[in-house]
Amino acid sequence: MTKEDIITLPNPHLRQRSKRVGVVTDEIRRIAADMQAATVDWDQSRDHEVGVALAAVQIDQLYKIIVVRNNHDNKEDLSFTAFINPEITKFEGEVVEDFEGCLSVPNIYGKVPRHTKIRVRALDLNGKQFRVTAEGFLARIFQHEIDHCNGIVFIDHIKGKPEAFFRIDENGKLQPSDYKRDVEKNPILWQ
């Protein structure tokens, strides 16, 4: 798969809830591999951004599957971990606003409130259950991707807050978005 296989708003599938995976099959493992390939292809096409994770719905597969880059600080590290049926079992820490982007919401960033620490339960690619405690940016990644599994996109958390929207400029710097222009240009994104 390539970056062209990643669906973007206003595709209505991004607003649908994904279904739980009953049994981890070769098809599920293939979907996880496709997700990783699409993320890496997207990542390699961007100078100032890094693809850190993807949910299956973003390649138009309505399964509760996410892949998360093992080292989101190193763009050269192309390894990912798959999480099947990921579920947040506990929210901890404080709620902090920080920047998020999304491969399915091109060129738009937002300051989104998220918990600073969470606990996640999931299945691995062999169908074995495991747990992860995530803090900081990794906790934000999990919350963002698990939202995707529930038909929620990050902009849903900041609708009606023009000051929370940003764009990336040609030098890779975040700049305040012209929210009014963006809404008028793409009203379906904001519904």
**Residue 147 corresponds to which tokens in the numbers above?**
């939202």
Q: What is the DSSP string of 80-103?
A: EEEEEEEEEEEEEEEEEEEEEEET
191 lies in some domain: no
The answer to whether 23 touches 75, Cβ cutoff 8 Å, is no
CATH code, 63 = 3.90.45.10
Q: Tell me whether residue 145 is one of the annotated catalytic residues.
A: yes
- Boundaries of domain holding 31: 3-186
Total count of domains within the chain: 1
For 94-131, the pLDDT digits (tens) are: 999 999 999 999 888 999 999 999 999 999 999 999 99
Q: Which residue among the candidates 4, 97, 135, 145 is catalytic per the annotation?
A: 145
178 lies in some domain: yes
For 50-63, the pLDDT digits (tens) are: 999 999 999 999 99
pLDDT mean across residues, the chain? 92
104 lies in some domain: yes
What was the pLDDT predicted at 119? 98
Span 179-187, average pLDDT: 65
What was the pLDDT predicted at 34? 98
- H-type alpha helices, 75-178: 136-149
162 lies in some domain: yes
Span 21-26, average pLDDT: 98
